[in-house]
A and B are shown apart, each in its own frame.
Chain A
Amino acid sequence: MALLQISEPDLSTAPHQHRLAVGIDLGTTNSLVATVRNGISVVLNDENGRAMLPSVVRYAADSSVTVGEAAQIEQSVDPTNTIISVKRFMGRGLKDVGDTSRLPYRFVDTDGMLQLRTVAGVKSPVEVSAEILKVLRMRAEAALGGELVGAVITVPAYFDDAQRQATKDAAKIAGLNVLRLLNEPTAAAIAYGLDNASEGVYAVYDLGGGTFDISILRLTRGVFEVLSANGDSALGGDDFDQRIHCWLLEKNDLSALNPQDTRLLLTQARAAKEQLTEHDRTRITAVLSSGELVDNVLTQDEFQSMSHNLIQRTLQPLRRALRDAKLSAADIKGVVMVGGATRMPQVQQAVGEFFGQIPLNNLDPDKVVALGAAIQANLLAGNRSGDEWLLLDVIPLSLGIETMGGLVEKIIPRNSTIPTARAQEFTTYKDGQTAMSIHVLQGERELVSDCRSLAKFELRGIPAMVAGAARIRVTFQVDADGLLNVSAREMGCGMEAAIVVKPSYGLSDAEITRMLQDSVQHAQDDMQARARQEQQTEANQLLEAVQHALVQDGELLDHQQRSRIEAQMTVLQGSLKTEDTLALKRAVNALNEATVSFAQARMDKSVAGVLTGKNISQLETK
């Protein structure tokens, strides 16, 4: 039981108040939480000793939420309400997801970030992620015996602004103070670098369940400097599962499966993929809902050829990252492998060939990100250990604004060290113009339509002047989380322009507030539900006890007493059927009261006045 660890001596008696901080790897497939204890970063397990929490959230009709293994086991039973790989939806619109027919969810078609319709209502990916984070927060608080000062949450290095903001919002809804959003490969580099006292230029190749990152870092004494980052935020182990899934459909001449069967085959595909890491061949069997049997043997060779181009897709970002760092493969001292999908032998081989060296696998690829995040969290929380280091990270994608003709003008180039800022002056083009709008985009392409829209800013309250006279200075600031903040002021009179923001894929402040309230409300509902359940149990026990007493000692009551008790029993039975907890409580009290003299009489009868002033329920339960 986690609670037993509350008064662990090393934590409660630390000389300087140790500030409780954790690192959380919020993964597509699995999530973990880690912390630094006695100077060592450790992953915190659940009460069954498991480190990894499957990133699976199931919503039930009564609004209860199941997270993790329990939800995962049931995923093919209730695929529509069991959300897996929600990270792929963070800060994304419906059209980004591509072929939604392969997914068992009911998507809500909205303008910005997509939403999912579940039995428990419409959910944003942010809320779904918050459920995962809540479980990890509670795990950590139970293990560490106190409230957390804060958490470092990891994100793929190649996550754009909308995806990062969505992650930070999820943490907020989960009640976590975000000390920093940390890039996953950077977290891995910290864990690896500190562990091995490495110096030189390293590459971190991180292929997880849903995302691919490559980061090039220079490690020198006390400094982790990211030189470049690249990747694909929609490429991971899931895509290999999809390839096997498609192969199964083809082999068995199947089409248009129902959500249950789709989920079943994907689960089998994933198991087969993992089997092929150790074995030359694997057998895939499944019984579909139609009764049809799927039974195929997949060989390592076949799997390699069907997944060849997925692996090639990781090499292009790799070359780009090297070019941006102005380095060649030969300059790389070591390649740190991170993420469960790097266990696939064909990945190891391709990476090894590319760099001309055997990749480094001496850290657990599942845990290294969480461990590194915990180390950074400990530092950021202000737990000075003597050992300090400086982390210089970069923004992975260029930021720009829309100019004439649907073109994008870059204002902050990719791989700029953060924090970074750029101020730009704008002017009015019409006499008396008092408002203007700025469209902010992220990406490397030249056309607005090829970049990702982040937000449209509307500047209002510009003093009316002749065209070109007003000078509005807009500052684009990227903070240490890699998040963009915008502010504006009119230079002539120093007036601050009012800005109205329309995030393209993000949530508005109002939406976040609502989700926060929902989350608090939900916790209250949970508490109320529990109170009601306790009340119901108590009522049932009381009814049973009175019934029993009436059968046994009914002759002690006169007709009037008996009918008073029976009337109260009817009232209680009635209120058990309603939702009104308060009425239930009153009915329980009333029945208890109505039986006081009955209890007294029974007592007198059996123990001759030893016990007085007790009613039936107290007697019976004794």
Chain B
Amino acid sequence: MRLRREFSSLKQSTGFDFQHNHFQLFGLAPSFQLDSAKLELQYRALQAQVHPDKSAHLGETEQRVAMQQSTLVNEAYQTLKSPIRRARYLLLLNGVDTQEETNTAMPVDFLMAQMEWREAVAETQQARDLNALEQLAARMKVETRALEAQLAVKIDTEQDYAAAAGLVRKLRFMEKLAEEIDAAYDVIDM
């Protein structure tokens, strides 16, 4: 690991608009529901232009600009591809903070359900029961999809951003749960 001594601002490059938001970058309408095939196509087309491999034979400046542009395209793509990150970003564009760190007021039944999930994961891990873990993972996926479907309604149809922020906070719990399930896989697979 080396230190890059120069810190250049992302704005210095030409022919590529760093001011665009992620949706504009890919020529997509800013909505939660999104044409993922088009996103992927646009992503590849953009990377084909800006990826550092395209300027490996050029000077240091060109290479650095390419790295910054390509980094931004990756960041934008990852943000739009992931439902929770996409929702968070849309809310941000609309001036709404999802308060994931600060707002801990969750519905009691949701919290109860979370506790049950976690216990179940811990149990399967203890029992090294791969099948049970896989079933849990599948159920969790269904639950997550349901929350995402609600998000589409709240953001795209109702523009109820406060409610949407609540859903993002719920999804964040599900994301952490997914991480725990992943860790359990690793423990069982030792």
> Does residue A417 face the partner (Cβ distance < 8 Å to B)?
yes
Given the complex of chains A and B, what is the CA–CA distance between A417 and B46 in angstroms?
14
With contacts A417-B74, A477-B67, A506-B1 known, is A390 near B7, CB below 8 A? no
Q: Which of B71-100 contact A (CB under 8 A)?
A: 71, 74-75, 77-78
Among B3, B47, B53, B74, the residue within 8 A (CB) of A499 is B3
Return the CB mask of B158-190 against A: 1 if under 8 Å, else 0: 000000000000000000000000100110011
User: Would A477 and B71 count as touching, CB distance under 8 A?
Assistant: yes
> Does residue B138 face the partner (Cβ distance < 8 Å to A)?
no
What is the CB-to-nearest-CB distance from A94 to chain B, in angstroms, rounded to a whole number? 20
User: Would B56 and A179 count as touching, CB distance under 8 A?
Assistant: yes
Q: Which residues of chain A have C-beta atoms less than 8 A from B70's C-beta?
A: 419, 480
User: Would A390 and B51 count as touching, CB distance under 8 A?
Assistant: yes
The interface size of chain A toward B, counting residues with CB under 8 Å, comes to 50
User: Would B67 and A454 count as touching, CB distance under 8 A?
Assistant: no
Given the complex of chains A and B, what is the CA–CA distance between A615 and B21 in angstroms?
85
Given the complex of chains A and B, what is the CA–CA distance between A44 and B47 in angstroms?
32
With contacts A165-B2, A392-B47, A454-B1 known, is A417 near B53, CB below 8 A? no
User: Would A485 and B57 count as touching, CB distance under 8 A?
Assistant: no
User: Would A485 and B44 count as touching, CB distance under 8 A?
Assistant: no
> Does residue B127 face the partner (Cβ distance < 8 Å to A)?
no
> Does residue A279 face the partner (Cβ distance < 8 Å to B)?
no
Q: Which residues of chain B have C-beta atoms less than 8 A from A487's C-beta?
A: 3-7
What is the CB-to-nearest-CB distance from A407 to chain B, in angstroms, rounded to a whole number? 15
Among A149, A382, A480, the residue within 8 A (CB) of B67 is A480
Residue among A165, A421, A440 facing the most chain B CB atoms (10 A cut-off): A421
Given the complex of chains A and B, what is the CA–CA distance between A480 and B70 in angstroms?
9
Return the CB mask of A466-489 against B: 1 if under 8 Å, else 0: 000000000101011001111111
With contacts A419-B52, A420-B75, A421-B71 known, is A486 near B1, CB below 8 A? yes
User: Would B53 and A496 count as touching, CB distance under 8 A?
Assistant: no
What is the CB-to-nearest-CB distance from B25 to chain A, in angstroms, rounded to a whole number? 15
> Does residue A320 face the partner (Cβ distance < 8 Å to B)?
yes
User: Would A416 and B78 count as touching, CB distance under 8 A?
Assistant: yes
User: Would B1 and A485 count as touching, CB distance under 8 A?
Assistant: yes
What is the CB-to-nearest-CB distance from B130 to chain A, in angstroms, rounded to a whole number? 10
What is the CB-to-nearest-CB distance from A100 to chain B, in angstroms, rounded to a whole number? 26
> Does residue B115 face the partner (Cβ distance < 8 Å to A)?
no
What is the CB-to-nearest-CB distance from B184 to chain A, in angstroms, rounded to a whole number? 11
Q: Closest B residue to A178 by CB, please name it.
A: B56
Q: Interface residues of B toward A: which range?
A: 20 to 34
User: Would B7 and A480 count as touching, CB distance under 8 A?
Assistant: no
User: Would A320 and B67 count as touching, CB distance under 8 A?
Assistant: no
User: Would B57 and A381 count as touching, CB distance under 8 A?
Assistant: yes
> Does residue B111 face the partner (Cβ distance < 8 Å to A)?
no
Q: Which residues of chain B have C-beta atoms less than 8 A from A509's C-beta?
A: 2
Q: Which residues of chain A have C-beta atoms less than 8 A from B6's C-beta?
A: 487
User: Would B186 and A320 count as touching, CB distance under 8 A?
Assistant: yes
Q: Which of A98-137 contact B (CB under 8 A)?
A: none
Q: Which residues of chain A have C-beta atoms less than 8 A from B2's C-beta?
A: 165, 483, 485, 501, 506, 509
Q: Which residues of chain A have C-beta atoms less than 8 A from B57's C-beta?
A: 19, 149-150, 179, 380-382
What is the CB-to-nearest-CB distance from B172 to chain A, in angstroms, rounded to a whole number? 15
User: Would A503 and B1 count as touching, CB distance under 8 A?
Assistant: yes
> Does residue B142 face the partner (Cβ distance < 8 Å to A)?
no
User: Would B56 and A417 count as touching, CB distance under 8 A?
Assistant: no
Among A161, A180, A419, A420, the residue within 8 A (CB) of B56 is A180
Among B1, B5, B56, B186, the residue within 8 A (CB) of A162 is B1
Q: Which residues of chain B have C-beta atoms less than 8 A from A222's C-beta?
A: 48
User: Would B3 and A180 count as touching, CB distance under 8 A?
Assistant: no
> Does residue A537 face the partner (Cβ distance < 8 Å to B)?
no
Q: Closest B residue to A444 by CB, please name it.
A: B186
User: Would A316 and B53 count as touching, CB distance under 8 A?
Assistant: no
> Does residue A294 face the partner (Cβ distance < 8 Å to B)?
no
Return the CB mask of A439-476 against B: 1 if under 8 Å, else 0: 01000000000000011010000000000000000010
> Does residue A323 face the partner (Cβ distance < 8 Å to B)?
yes
Q: Which residues of chain A have C-beta atoms less than 8 A from B189's C-beta?
A: 316, 319-320
User: Would B48 and A323 count as touching, CB distance under 8 A?
Assistant: no
What is the CB-to-nearest-CB distance from A423 to chain B, in angstroms, rounded to a whole number? 10
Given the complex of chains A and B, what is the CA–CA distance between A506 and B44 in angstroms?
35
Q: Closest A residue to B185 by CB, please name it.
A: A323
Q: Which residues of chain A have C-beta atoms less than 8 A from B182's C-beta?
A: 323
With contacts A19-B57, A316-B189 known, is A477 near B48, CB below 8 A? no
Among B3, B53, B75, B185, the residue within 8 A (CB) of A391 is B53
Given the complex of chains A and B, what is the CA–CA distance between A452 and B66 in angstroms?
29
Given the complex of chains A and B, what is the CA–CA distance between A381 and B53 in angstroms?
9
What is the CB-to-nearest-CB distance from B180 to chain A, in angstroms, rounded to a whole number? 12
> Does residue A194 face the partner (Cβ distance < 8 Å to B)?
no
With contacts A149-B57, A180-B56, A416-B78 known, is A501 near B67, CB below 8 A? no
> Does residue A379 face the partner (Cβ distance < 8 Å to B)?
yes
> Does residue A332 face the partner (Cβ distance < 8 Å to B)?
no
Among B4, B48, B78, B190, the residue within 8 A (CB) of A417 is B78
What is the CB-to-nearest-CB distance from B135 to chain A, in angstroms, rounded to a whole number? 15
Residue among A179, A316, A382, A480 facing the most chain B CB atoms (10 A cut-off): A480
What is the CB-to-nearest-CB distance from A584 to chain B, in angstroms, rounded to a whole number? 46
> Does residue A223 face the partner (Cβ distance < 8 Å to B)?
yes
Return the CB mask of B55-68 against A: 1 if under 8 Å, else 0: 01110000000010
Q: Which of A393-444 contact B (CB under 8 A)?
A: 416-421, 440
Q: Which residues of chain A have C-beta atoms less than 8 A from B75's C-beta?
A: 420-421
Given the complex of chains A and B, what is the CA–CA distance between A392 and B54 in angstroms?
12
Q: Closest B residue to A440 by CB, please name it.
A: B1
With contacts A381-B57, A501-B3 known, is A223 near B44, CB below 8 A? yes
Q: Closest B residue to A393 by CB, please name it.
A: B53
Q: Closest B residue to A324 by CB, please name it.
A: B182
Given the complex of chains A and B, what is the CA–CA distance between A457 and B3 in angstroms?
9
Q: Which residues of chain B have C-beta atoms less than 8 A from A419's C-beta?
A: 52, 67, 70-71, 74
User: Would B74 and A390 count as touching, CB distance under 8 A?
Assistant: no
Return the CB mask of A361-405 against B: 1 if under 8 Å, else 0: 000000000000000100111100000101110000000000000
Given the complex of chains A and B, what is the CA–CA distance between A289 and B62 in angstroms?
60
Q: Which of B23-45 contact A (CB under 8 A)?
A: 44
Q: Closest B residue to A165 by CB, please name it.
A: B1
What is the CB-to-nearest-CB distance from B18 to chain A, in angstroms, rounded to a whole number? 13
Q: Which residues of chain B have C-beta atoms less than 8 A from A179's C-beta?
A: 56-57
Q: Closest A residue to B51 by CB, please name it.
A: A390
Q: Which residues of chain B have C-beta atoms less than 8 A from A455's C-beta?
A: 1
Given the complex of chains A and B, what is the CA–CA distance between A412 and B58 in angstroms?
28
Q: Which residues of chain A have C-beta atoms less than 8 A from B51's C-beta?
A: 390-392, 480
Q: Which residues of chain B have C-beta atoms less than 8 A from A479's C-beta?
A: 52, 67
Given the complex of chains A and B, what is the CA–CA distance between A479 and B5 in angstroms?
15
Given the complex of chains A and B, what is the CA–CA distance between A378 and B143 in angstroms?
49
User: Would A477 and B4 count as touching, CB distance under 8 A?
Assistant: yes
Q: Closest A residue to B57 by CB, please name it.
A: A382
User: Would B53 and A161 count as touching, CB distance under 8 A?
Assistant: no
User: Would B7 and A489 count as touching, CB distance under 8 A?
Assistant: yes
22 A–B contacts from the bound complex (CB under 8 Å): A162-B1, A165-B1, A179-B57, A381-B57, A382-B56, A392-B51, A419-B52, A420-B71, A420-B74, A420-B75, A421-B75, A479-B52, A480-B52, A480-B53, A483-B1, A483-B2, A484-B1, A486-B3, A486-B4, A501-B2, A506-B1, A506-B2
